[in-house]
Amino acid sequence: MAEEQHLSALERLIRYGSDDDVRRFYALLRPPELADLLERLNGEDRKRAFELMTAPLASDVLRVVEDPELEEILEDMPAERVAEIAHESMTDDAADMIGALDEEKRAETLEHLDGEDRREIEELLEYGEDTAGGLMQTELVHVREDCTVREAMEQVRAENEDEVGDIHIVYVVGADDRLLGTVSPADLITADPDVPLSSVQDRDPIVVPPTMDQEDLAELVREHDLAAVAVVDENRRLLGQVLIDDVVDVMEDEATEDIARMAGTDFEAVFDDSVRAAVRLRAPWLIPAFIGGLLVTFFLGSVESSLKEATILAVFLPVVLGMAGNIGTQTSAITVRNLALGRLDFKRVGRTILRQVFTGLAIGSMFGAALLLFVLVTRGDDVAVKKYAMTLALAIWTAMTVGATMGVTVPLLLNKLGFDPAIATSPFVQTANDVTGVGILIVIANALDLI
Amino acid sequence: MAEEQHLSALERLIRYGSDDDVRRFYALLRPPELADLLERLNGEDRKRAFELMTAPLASDVLRVVEDPELEEILEDMPAERVAEIAHESMTDDAADMIGALDEEKRAETLEHLDGEDRREIEELLEYGEDTAGGLMQTELVHVREDCTVREAMEQVRAENEDEVGDIHIVYVVGADDRLLGTVSPADLITADPDVPLSSVQDRDPIVVPPTMDQEDLAELVREHDLAAVAVVDENRRLLGQVLIDDVVDVMEDEATEDIARMAGTDFEAVFDDSVRAAVRLRAPWLIPAFIGGLLVTFFLGSVESSLKEATILAVFLPVVLGMAGNIGTQTSAITVRNLALGRLDFKRVGRTILRQVFTGLAIGSMFGAALLLFVLVTRGDDVAVKKYAMTLALAIWTAMTVGATMGVTVPLLLNKLGFDPAIATSPFVQTANDVTGVGILIVIANALDLI
């Protein structure tokens, strides 16, 4: 509610108020709250809103703006202004901003940055976007090992002049800049100031290479409750650090991506705002399902004349296909999520698959029995109906077992091959289920001489 | 790889080694790593493994073990031992442990705890499991406002004797215990030690009531990059704090729950390990879909005799239903995810719905045209086929539009009514799509005098 009032107040101030009025309004809100409002302004108002910000405020706001909007906002800004804001930002946020620009504007913006900023940002842009290197900031506080806790605190105080931002962890390094350990600011405060730093530091901190995938990194940070993690090169020299705040965003994005993929669309479609974008982002994902569906019509078409006699099979086909699809979706969602959480144990892949096959057999037999009963009760039990009922029961049982089996094997296989397993629950595989389901029904009906 | 070796080493040591061998092995691993191994031991070995731990180690391990396993492990432990471990744990972890026990054992365990521990844990158990109160720990470090930074650091050092664990944030309170502000340990270190504390503290920290839903809390922590958040009562008195580590776990669990629900199953099914449990957890979610499927057979059955003439409609029915289901799944996944991320703007619900309706109309018309063409090309273009082709094209267009519309309205409605919107993408709604799809096809075919 408050947000609605803030939004209309901001709109009014931008259109009719003085620049100072707008700036006074900014001072009332926290940057993330401001970002929420700005995302909802129209293009013109938003452009003006950013022009009225100081570079540090614009930096604080932009770091919480997410991708499709970030690109839009930066498009409206001159390269010089982007450079000014990037200069005020942590290197990881600056790299995200500059990485979101098109090639020409990116080069122009880098031109406007001073040598060190430029070099650091260019280095960060070299790393893959989804790696520890792509997430890390080069700003960090490090202290030398051979000192007391008191001296370490003094070093932290002196180093912080460089504006490191929130200090989650202090890194302890040797003379050759290699990482020897870590210590939290709270540990420094609570330790006796006169003991050697080496007696309070953690000598075996978790470190990661810059190439580590962000999903694995997130899992590590979550499991070990890390506030920040050091990124080091092969000689254990500190390259940068990834803060938990950034890992949290990764986790949300990875979950969003998995959810989108499972539903047969992609990450951007979750945030699409126009019908035009929705059509462009979503329609292509539906094409494999459509082609699969047409394939099913060929299968069914080949027995179309038999279907005239056996319309009951056509009537019950949707329930057979639906149930196979449903158990397949269940199984693949479970598999994909366990893969994402790092809970799937590859030494026991055989057991994991077998467990799902048996689950499919068990659940399939229950619904097979129910369908048998339903057909006999609603259609009478003469010899022909008995045969059809048996066919349908066998078909749903087999199709559900196959559905569960595909639901576990396809994501595992995709993962093994280096693809995103989440696409396995998409329309593509749902439709593969439809094709096999129809095939199974036809084969069984044939075997029983029904068609 | 290393994990496999560790696992077999631990198994060997537990079965054939001395107790000291096992304890020496424990010292080589971090608690979360140990937890990973323990989750994979069989019941007997695991029970023994916990018996050989000191209470503080068992506490560190148990706090990272997640729910289905936690219950199992605690079942094997005498109440006295659970109390001993709870005593070594932060109050939130202790409450989680004791909350996982059955009623009788819970009472027995609480008996074994001393008065203050018991009172605090009982209070935490009063709060809903999914609220800020249910997540918070009562341990925290607070300092009085009227002092210098140096004195504040001394207070922190003195207070930490109570073993608060990691100090993410120091809370500044007034004489009446009301929260006046917060300061991070790093801010204390980097400030001039002689300035008043009031000059460095954040005077307007974000606070939450104990009743706040954990999903909203997670969103707040993520958006504002908080390391910890204060939980206060209506008089702004500090009740406890929720650390970001715990919020991260909430985020993962909420995403897992949404993914499970969307796939038509529940949270526990993601972590089920036995076929028996899988059947029990998953089969019930398939029942609504099955009933919906049977409903479809009644609809189709009512026009069964007409289908003998119009088998082409039966042949193409799966593709119509499949595409309506697919666009419905896309839409509801997008809606559910935006709801979870707090991105859905209720003032503009009308616009959100309209956007999806138009998306359905647009995408539906594309696949309608494609289907029209496909039928005409594969089936020849005599008058009867033209009519069928038109019927099918109209049916897929309408069904996809209805699918997209239900995909957005049903989750919004469920959310408004206080239900979990994620169940809207489950087999239940997929099947609702099937029912309307068949209905649409029959109505259109009827209107065109085809059946």
CA nearest to B267 within chain A = A334
Contacts of B66 in chain A (CB under 8 A): none
What integer pLDDT is reported at residue B1 of this predicted model? 47
Put simply, the answer to whether B168 touches A345 (Cβ < 8 Å) is no
Contacts of A189 in chain B (CB under 8 A): 153, 156-157, 167, 185, 188-189
- A293 pLDDT exceeds 50? yes
Tell me the average pLDDT across A25-53: 90
Tell me the average pLDDT across A370-393: 91
CA dist., res. B205 & res. A381, Å (int): 73
Put simply, the answer to whether A355 touches B278 (Cβ < 8 Å) is yes
Of B4, B156, B337, nearest to A190 by CB-CB distance is: B156
Of A264, A270, A296, nearest to B326 by CB-CB distance is: A264
What integer pLDDT is reported at residue A153 of this predicted model? 94
Residue A164 pLDDT grade (very low, low, confident, very high; cuts 50, 70, 90): low
- Closest Cα of chain A to B255: distance in Å? 6
Tell whether the torsion through CA atoms of B19, B25, B31 and B35 is positive or negative: negative
Degrees, nearest 5: CA angle B231-B237-B242: 15
What integer pLDDT is reported at residue B316 of this predicted model? 93
Of A259, A282, A367, nearest to B259 by CB-CB distance is: A259
Put simply, the answer to whether A252 touches B251 (Cβ < 8 Å) is yes
Put simply, the answer to whether B315 touches A330 (Cβ < 8 Å) is no
List per-residue pLDDT tens for chain B, 451 residues long. 477 888 899 999 999 999 999 999 999 999 999 998 888 888 889 999 999 999 999 999 998 887 778 888 998 899 999 999 999 999 999 999 999 899 999 999 999 998 888 999 999 999 988 899 999 999 999 999 899 999 999 999 988 765 667 899 999 999 888 999 999 999 999 999 999 999 999 999 999 999 999 989 998 998 898 999 999 999 999 999 999 989 998 998 889 999 998 888 888 888 877 889 889 999 998 998 899 889 888 888 888 888 888 889 989 999 999 899 999 989 999 999 988 888 787 677 888 899 999 999 999 999 999 999 999 999 887 888 899 999 999 999 999 999 999 999 999 988 888 888 888 777 667 778 888 889 998 999 888 887 7
Q: What is the pLDDT of residues A17-37, one digit of tens each?
A: 999 999 999 999 999 899 988
Q: What is the pLDDT of residues A265-289, one digit of tens each?
A: 888 888 877 889 889 999 998 998 8
Q: Look at residues A384, A371, A376 and name the one whose alpha carbon lies nearest to residue A322.
A: A371
Q: What residues are paired with A178 via a beta bridge? A: A237
Contacts of A244 in chain B (CB under 8 A): 227, 244, 248
CA dist., res. B63 & res. B65, Å (int): 6
What integer pLDDT is reported at residue B403 of this predicted model? 93
Q: Look at residues B302, B30, B282 and name the one whose alpha carbon lies nearest to residue A364.
A: B282
CA dist., res. B284 & res. B286, Å (int): 5
Contacts of B64 in chain A (CB under 8 A): 223
- Closest Cα of chain A to B298: distance in Å? 8
- Closest Cα of chain A to B18: distance in Å? 27
CA dist., res. A101 & res. A254, Å (int): 23
Of B290, B330, B438, nearest to A263 by CB-CB distance is: B330
CA dist., res. A401 & res. A358, Å (int): 8
Put simply, the answer to whether B297 touches A285 (Cβ < 8 Å) is no
Selected for mutation to probe chain B from A252, A357, A430 (highest B CB count within 10 Å) is A252
CA distances to A283, A412, B352, B364, B384 from B370, rounded to whole Å, are: 13, 33, 27, 10, 19
How would you write chain A as a 3-class SS string?
CHHHHHHHHHHHHHHHCCHHHHHHHHCCCCHHHHHHHHCCCCHHHHHHHHHCCCHHHHHHHHCCCCHHHHHHHHHCCCHHHHHHHHHHCCHHHHHHHHHCCCHHHHHHHHHHCCHHHHHHHHHHHHCCCCEHHHHCECCCEEEECCCEHHHHHHHHHHHHHHCCCCCCCEEEECCCCEEEEEECHHHHHHCCCCCEHHHCCECCCCEECCCCEHHHHHHHHHHHCCCEEEEECCCCEEEEEEEHHHHHHHHHHHHHHHHHHHCCCCHHHHHCCCHHHHHHHHHHHHHHHHHHHHHHHHHHHHCHHHHHHCHHHHHHHHHHHHHHHHHHHHHHHHHHHHHHCCCCCHHHHHHHHHHHHHHHHHHHHHHHHHHHHHHHHHHCCCHHHHHHHHHHHHHHHHHHHHHHHHHHHHHHHHHHCCCCHHHHHCHHHHHHHHHHHHHHHHHHHHHCCCC
Phi first, then psi, for residue A365 (nearest 5°) are: -65, -35
SS3 B440: helix
Q: CA Rg, chain B, in Å? A: 30
CB contact burial B319-337 (16+ within 10 A = b; e otherwise): bbbbbbbbbbbbbbbbbbb
CA nearest to B362 within chain A = A279
Put simply, the answer to whether A260 touches B333 (Cβ < 8 Å) is yes
Residue A160 pLDDT grade (very low, low, confident, very high; cuts 50, 70, 90): confident
CA nearest to B206 within chain A = A30
β-sheet with B207-208: strand ranges across: B207-208, B228-232, B238-243
What integer pLDDT is reported at residue A309 of this predicted model? 82
| Percent over 70 (pLDDT), chain A | 97
Contacts of B184 in chain A (CB under 8 A): 166-167, 185
**DSSP class per residue in B68-112:** HHHHHHHHTS-HHHHHHHHHHS-HHHHHHHHHTS-HHHHHHHHHH
SS3 B147: coil
What average pLDDT is seen over chain A?
89
Q: What residues are paired with A148 via a beta bridge? A: A196
Of B270, B301, B312, nearest to A315 by CB-CB distance is: B301
Of B244, B256, B438, nearest to A337 by CB-CB distance is: B256
What integer pLDDT is reported at residue A163 of this predicted model? 64
pTM above 0.95, yes or no: no
Q: Look at residues A297, A437, A300, A328 and name the one whose alpha carbon lies nearest to residue B389.
A: A297
**Cβ–Cβ contacts within 10 Å for residue B185, how many?**
25
Contacts of B430 in chain A (CB under 8 A): 322, 325-326
B243 membership: H or E segment, kind and range: strand B238-243
